[in-house]
Structure formats: structure tokens, C-alpha cells
Structure 1
Amino acid sequence: MSHTVRPEVPPSAPPAAPAAPPAERSWPADFRDRLTCPIPDFREVVSVTWHGGFRPDVGDADRIPVLRAGLPPVGPGQTGVTWVGHATYIVRIGGLTVLTDPVWSRKIPGVRQRLTPPGLAWSELPPVDAVVISHNHYDHLDAPTMRRLPRHTPLFVPANLGRWFTRRGFTNVTELDWWESARIGEVDFDFVPAHHWSRRSMFDTCRSLWGGWVLSAPGHRVYFAGDTAYGERLRLIGERYPGIDLALMPVGAYEPRWFMHVSHLDPAEAVQACADVGARRMATMHWGTFVLSGEPLMAPLHEARAAWSAAGRNRADLWDLAIGETRLLT
């Protein structure tokens, strides 16, 4: 595996040209200077929890579409994406099988067990060529799932998160800052900014970075947003990476809005974010798996469809996949 690393630049500046990676990396004590909004404090969390902000009616769980049909073949020149659930996609691009924020666990800390099964059984996975992690929140970085991977699996992770993996025996871990890039074969893995934050315990707020990923191979380019609120960094991604074919965009976990707007897109913002990054197509995610917020379970899907239509975009370019469903870029 070869790496090309671009040095970090301020979010408002154009990215620098590729440069050789430094021999050793050093990171700041934290990345709070990358925040664009204050993150929720303890009193706000208690307030929204006490008033039922995270307890939607889950009676509609049986309406969440699930299609466990296995992995159809991906031919030469094609890119396939399969939604496993939440922010987990299987992206088959440039001859590689890549997992995004893999979570196969039935339950993650702090929330009820998943509403729907993973869209593909772990035993049906082909060999995994790489994993990309957007940030360290439990619904995006799942320790039990990571333990199921071979320890030599190439992992691409945000700045200062590498030690979490090396302590667990992983031997091929690449940490990247925003606008930096690594490569396997013909596929480039570029780490890009997001409007979000990181925390895994009471004592590590923003100690590691957060972001999204642009996967580029000859013929296709896919953007995986991870978690993000709305803001100017999305436009900058579109300027830096023209011709994005597909944006894997979060549309859920957005109510109550006064609390969630600093961390998550709502469906209308997701549609606008897709336009900002210049993507022709949008595949929905981050809904229908875990109860993380207060909107009705089916609202992310219905509101995303309405916003897409209101924006005058081609209905065929909205990939509102069922869990387990695959679509192909040809």
C-alpha cells in the first residue's frame, strides 16, 4: 500500500498540492479549534433526555424496509454500494471491498438494541480490503465489530485515533488529517472535513478528529459523509473533489432540532449538502437502525423524498435504499 499525504490547511483555504508524508506524526492535545458550534453540554443533554426528546414511538419499526438478498456481483467498471444499516456501507470500488463505520452489533452503549438486523450477515462478507472510520462515537466505531476483522486489515482513521486500534492489535493503521490522502491499488482514500465532534468517554472530548471520506477510483467517486451538521465545509469538499457520483448522506437523528442542529443534518439539509458537494446521486443512511433522537422512525425517509422532489432533482438519483439493498454505478 502506498500513501500520499496532503498537509492540513485551514477549512476556508484551498487544499495544498500533494506532499510526501512526514516520517513521524504529531497531533495537538485536542481539536477543539476545528469546532464550528459549541457541542451540547451536560445540562442540555439532561434537559432533552428528561423531556422525552430521545423517545420516539417505535411502533413503526416493522415498516423500515429490509431486503437481505446477499451481495450481487459487481462487474468490471462498476461500483456497488450495499447499505448494512446506520452508517455502515459495503462499498465495492476499484476492485476493493471497503467498509464504512462498520457496526454489526445488536446493541451499542447508551441506546436500545437495533431496530433492524444488519443488511448482510457477517459470514456473507467477502474479504475486506479496507475500513474507513469517520469518528469515534459508539454508533460509528464499534469495538465488537472491529474485533471480528483480521488484525492486518488496512484501516484509515482520523488524526489521533490510531492508538485505539493499535492497542487492539491492528497492524496496518493510517491516521489522516483533513485533506490528506492514502491509496490502495487504484483507489484513493481522502479524509475530508465535517461539522461534528468526537467523544468516547467523559475525558476525551475532541481528542481525536472527525470527518468524512472521498473514495476515488478510475471512473467513479463516492463521498461518505459520516456524521455532519450543515456548513461551508461541504461546499469546499465539492470544490476540491469535482464529479462526485454518489454521496452517502446521513438523514436521521435530527430532532429535537434545537439540540441536534450542531451535530446532524436534517433531511432537507442533507439534500442541500448533496448539492453542495456536487454529487449527482444521494444514498440515505443514519436512520432506521438505532434510536438516537426524537423524530418518528419513518420521518427521515419521507422527508428526504419530499426534499429531493422539492429541489427538482431526478427521482432516480435518490437512492433511498432498503437495509441490505445494493445499487450499482455503471
Structure 2
Amino acid sequence: MPETVPPSHPLVEPHPLAEPRPLGEPRTWPRDFTDRLTAPLPGVRALARIAREGKLRPAAETLRQIQQLPFEPGPMPEAGPTTVALTWAGHASWVIRIGGLTVLTDPVWSRKILGTPARVTPVGVRWEDLPPVDAIVISHNHYDHLDAPTLKRLPRDVPLLLPAGLAPWARRRGFTQVTDLDWWEAVELAGPAGPVRIDFVPAHHWSKRTLTDTCRSLWGGWVLTAPDGRRIHFAGDTGYGHWFEEIGRRYRDIDLALLPIGAYDPRWMLRPVHTDPEEAVRACQDLGARCLAPMHWSTFLLSAEPPLEPLHRIRAAWAATGRPRSDLWDLPVGASRVLAER
């Protein structure tokens, strides 16, 4: 019979979690984080090959699928101090209500980002409909995840939680509550139901924003833990690899994994840094997570797969595991879901 629950991790003592660090703590970091890469970055030969193949965007005959991309904006659910609720604004941007706080992940409300065609679905949440924002978490500094025009719309005293080495970028733009973290480090935010813990965890990716800053800041995902222990893993942007099992060992009982499923073709080039749908399902199993919410698709056309292919493949991969269909949160852009209490 197929498995109906996530595989359990070995019965070993979990690694103790780090004590939360002070918010706004000044830090000194290495000059670069190249040693954290889990695969070499594409070299001249790879760039020449992609230029020859010209396979950077979906084939023209598949672009009619854009009209079928799921977009169902609706009112966000009411969220009290004990509610954990999510709304997908598109791409890797989520509005997470947890422990009475509102946290935005990689907020991109811009219609267009540098070097990329304009978004093909609108933002799923109007800016004016957002509740007061209590914190922002950023996975890395690529333009489709760290969007300066969107951040400029925020109060300068909103807490920004960033990867190591990225705090100077934010402080130069006037933000005053800036905390950058290394992998496995955490902070706590005070909420009406108790502290919400937010941990920075590894990912298989890289960073670059200008011609001279390759890997000068770190990259990763975040684990958000509600006062009652419910957990969400936001993977940011990542390839598939060993870090998912390690995260699952350290953070037991993850309720929901927000995992990228798009921007994966051509596979020979993008495999190290972008999970495809089947790998996202494997990552969810490695994490020991109960539910999976796909993201990083249907918003910006960043690579060559047909626009609807990630949705079809994630549904098929999930069905093949035999796990409950209701635990795949394949939300349309703009939709919300409330995480059940344990």
C-alpha cells in the first residue's frame, strides 16, 4: 500500500535549537559565502550553451496557457492570536498570519522586475488590503525575491529579517530594525499569544544583485513557529538536496512546507538551484511536513517550461505518494488557507 503519512525521521536526539539572537544586532560577516554553495555556479561554457539553445522562455505555442493560470483573489480570513493563516500573493510572496502577527515573505508587489518579463498574473492581495505588517523575511537578494520598490512602501521601522551580509543594503535604504542571520540562527517576535520564533535555515541556492557582489550575502529559507508549536517552512528559492532532511531533523513536526515548483527548465542548468515539482514533493517528505503549498510559479515566466506544466506535475507527483489530496495546498494566486490546530 502507498504511504499516507510523511516518512518519519530516524529516532535520534534532535539537534538543540539555537537561543534566539537580539533583534537589530550589528554583525560582522565573511567577505563572501562561496563556501556555502552546494553546486558550482554556471561558467562561460554553460552561458554560451544557453545562448546557443535560446531556451530561456516558454515556447510561443504554450503562452496561451497564461489565460488559464489560477487567479482567485478573495478577502483574507480573520486571524486572531491563535490563528495560523496564509494568503498567496504570487511567486514567493505570502501573507502569513501567525501568533497574532502578520509576516510577509519575499514581498514583490511590482508589476515588473529587472531582467524579467512583466508578471503574468496580478498580485493576489491589494497593498491597501494588507493588515499592519509586523515583520518581513527575505530569502536572498535576487530581484524577484528582494524587491526594493515594494520595500519602499513599508514603514522604515518594520522589522526586516535577512540573510547574513544583507543588513547594510537595508540600512542604506533607511530601515532601522534590521537583523541578518546565519543558518540555524533565530529571533523571536513578541505576539499577543506569546513569542513567534523565526529561524533561518539552509537552501541550495546562491546570491547576486550586481556585477560585483556574487555570493557576498547568504541565502536560505525560514521556519516560523507559532506559540502553540505549529510550524511553517518557507523554502525561499532552492534546489533539491540534503538540507531538507537536516531541517526536518532539527525542526520536528512541520505542519506546512512552502516549496518552489517552477523555473526549472532547462534542467541541465537549473537543477542545482530550482526544484522541479517532483523534487518539491520529495523535499516535503524529507522535511517530514504534513502539507505542501507550491509557490514560485504562475507569476513570472523565468524559464522554458510551459506556464501550466508545474501545476500538472505537482498534482501528479503528489497523487503518486498516496498522501491525502487535501494536504496539497495548490492555491490559486490570491487564495487563502487556515492551518488547522493540532
Q: TM-score band (shorter)?
A: over 0.9
Cα 1:174–1:51 change in 2 (3 A) is same
In structure 2, how many angstroms separate the alpha carbons of the residues matched to 1:299 and 1:42? Answer: 29
2:47 maps to which residue?
A: 45
> Are 1:91 and 1:98, in contact at CA under 8 Å, matched by a contact in 2?
yes
Which of 145, 148, 163 aligns to 1:143? It is 148
Residue matched to 1:195? 204
TM-score (norm: length of structure 1): 0.93
Q: Using a 3 Å threshold, how does the CA distance of structure 1 residues 187 and 114 change in structure 2: closer, same or farther?
A: same
1:45 Cα deviation from its structure 2 partner: 3.0
CA distance in structure 2 between the aligned counterparts of 1:195 and 1:24, rounded to whole angstroms? 26
| CA deviation map 1:296-328 (0-9, x unaligned) | 100111100000011111100000000000000
CA contact (8 A) 1:196 1:263 kept: yes
For residue 207 of structure 1, what is the aligned residue in structure 2?
216
What is aligned with 2:7? none
1:58 counterpart SS class: helix
- The percentage of counterpart residues that share the same residue type is 57
Distance between the aligned counterparts of 1:66 and 1:40, measured in 2? 34
- Give the 5 Å matches for 1:118-133: 118-133=123-138
User: What secondary structure is seen at the aligned counterpart in 2 of 1:105?
Assistant: coil
Aligned residue-pair number: 318
Question: How much does 1:70 deviate?
Answer: 2.3
**How far is the alpha carbon of 1:69 from its aligned partner?**
1.0
Extract unaligned runs of 5+ from structure 1. 1-12
Contact 2:83 2:100 in 1 (8 A): no
Q: Secondary structure at the match of 2:64?
A: coil
**SS of equivalent residue, structure 1 residue 319:** coil
SS, match of residue 187 in structure 2? strand
Give CA-to-partner distance per residue, 1:276-296, whole Å, 9 cap, x none.
Answer: 111100001000000111111
Give the aligned partner of residue 104 of structure 1. 109
Deviation track 1:255-280 (CA, whole Å, cap 9, x = no partner) reads: 11001001100100000101111110
Map 1:26-45 to 2 at 5 A: 26-45=28-47
Residues 1:105 and 1:19: Cα distance change in structure 2 (over 3 Å): closer
Q: Which segment drifts farther, 14-23 or 113-122?
A: 14-23
**What is the correspondence of 1:1-330 to structure 2 with a 5 Å cutoff?**
14=15, 17-18=18-19, 24-56=26-58, 57-185=62-190, 186-219=195-228, 220-330=230-340
Q: What amino acid sits opposite 1:18 in the alignment?
A: E
Equivalent AA in structure 1 for residue 54 of structure 2: G
Q: CA deviation at 1:239?
A: 0.5
Q: Distance in 1 between matches of 2:259 and 2:240?
A: 12
Q: Distance in 2 between matches of 1:19 and 1:73?
A: 29
Residue aligned with 2:162, SS: strand
- Which ranges of 4 or more aligned residues in structure 1 deviate by more than 3 Å? 13-17, 19-24
TM-score normalised by length of structure 2: 0.90
Question: How far, CA to CA, are the matches of 2:17 and 2:99 in structure 1?
Answer: 25
Amino acid at match of 1:63: Q
Unaligned ranges ≥5, structure 2 = 1-13
Preserved CA contact (<8 Å) 1:131 1:155 = yes
Distance of aligned partners of 1:214 and 1:163 in 2 relative to their CA distance in 1, 3 Å threshold: same
RMSD: 1.6
Does the 8 Å CA contact 1:196/1:229 hold for their aligned counterparts?
yes
Q: For 1:262 and 1:137, how far apart are their aligned partners in 2?
A: 16
